[in-house]
Amino acid sequence: MMKMKTLLVVVMSLLILGVAQAEEKLKPFVLAEMSSGEMADVVSSVENKLTAAGFNVVGKYSPYAGATIIGVSSSALLNVAGKTDFGVFAAAQRVSVTKGADGKLQVAYTNPVYMANAYRLSSDLTDVAAELKQALGMIKSYGSKEGLTAEELRNYQYKWLMPYFDDRLELASYASYEDAVKGVEAALAAAKGGVKKVYRVDVPGKQMSLFGVHLTEKSSDECAGDKYIMERIDFKDIKSTAHLPYEIVVKGNTAYALRAEFRIAISFPDLSMMGSNSFASIMCAPAAIEESLTLAAGGKLEE
């Protein structure tokens, strides 16, 4: 009888632990460090730490004054990215160095576990999260007051009738994967739509490539620009700069992007629909981003 009671206690404990883990609330970003150094020095230090930890720095850019974003990948990320249909969207994580209102530099990065669930990966990337924490540190996760559970992220929709992860934009189609990659490279090199390449990551053995892209102030519509959008919605003291850059994905012979109503909302899930610093303040962005990215992928706009 005693053994049976002990067994029941163990089973109940495991069930409670499992429920607690399943309901863990995740947030989109991790604040790693606050620094009083110079931007160039801190960025260099961050890159060195990432490289020493086994990450590949695939590109970086400054979308506007006081902000630098570094794209990183790794064999672990690429392995997981290739296991699901559109896991390529998670082939790179993003690290940001941003000057706050107090003059200090905020070093932050995308939360791999949050992104793994948002992009419906077969792994939750806890190993990648641990490696980033070890390399850069962790003060706190942020970007949402309450956070979202893994289940909520895997079926994320900002509001009713808004797009899900699998409601993607098809920007351009080509005869083959090779032609598609060449076409996107050429369009980005020509800055079509006012969009420039930041980095490219290819998934080994798969016809999948991820392009991080800079939507410049010369985008086909000003409302698509990185600076325009972030000036309006990234208003809190701790900045969510690692929301950038936007992505174009080549899979097979087609170039895709996530719809802005999903891609922006997944980084800013607490933004209100109306009022100051809300989605209403960038109401023009979804159509403008689609137009700019279509041109940047070598596609044609509908007349």
CATH number for the domain that contains residue 228: 3.30.310.70
Hey, which residues does 95 pair with through a beta bridge?
70, 109
Inside any domain, residue 303: no
Inside any domain, residue 150: yes
pLDDT band at 14 (very low <50, low <70, confident <90, very high): very low
CA dist 44 and 69 (Å) reads 12
Q: Tokens at residue 169, please?
A: 């934009």
**For residue 303, is pLDDT > 70?**
no
pLDDT tens figures, 152-166: 999 999 998 889 999
Higher-pLDDT residue of 166, 8: 166
Counting Cβ atoms within 10 Å, is residue 162 exposed (0-12), middle (13-18) or buried (19+)?
Answer: middle
Inside any domain, residue 73: yes
Inside any domain, residue 20: no
Residue 9: the pLDDT is 44
Whole-model pTM: value is 0.90
pLDDT band at 302 (very low <50, low <70, confident <90, very high): confident
Inside any domain, residue 218: yes
- Cα 274 from chain centroid (whole Å): 24
CA dist 242 and 1 (Å) reads 56
Inside any domain, residue 5: no
Residue 221: the pLDDT is 76
**For residue 1, is pLDDT > 80?**
no
- Say how many domains are in the chain: 1
Residue 219: the pLDDT is 78
Hey, which residues does 30 pair with through a beta bridge?
109, 141
pLDDT tens figures, 19-47: 444 578 999 999 999 999 999 999 999 99
Inside any domain, residue 108: yes
Residue 20: the pLDDT is 46
Q: Which domain holds residue 61?
A: 27-296
Inside any domain, residue 9: no
pLDDT tens figures, 213-248: 999 988 767 899 999 999 999 999 999 999 999 999
277-301 burial code (b ≥16 CB/10 A, e <16): bebebbeebbebbbbbbbbbbbbee
3-class DSSP state for residue 12? helix
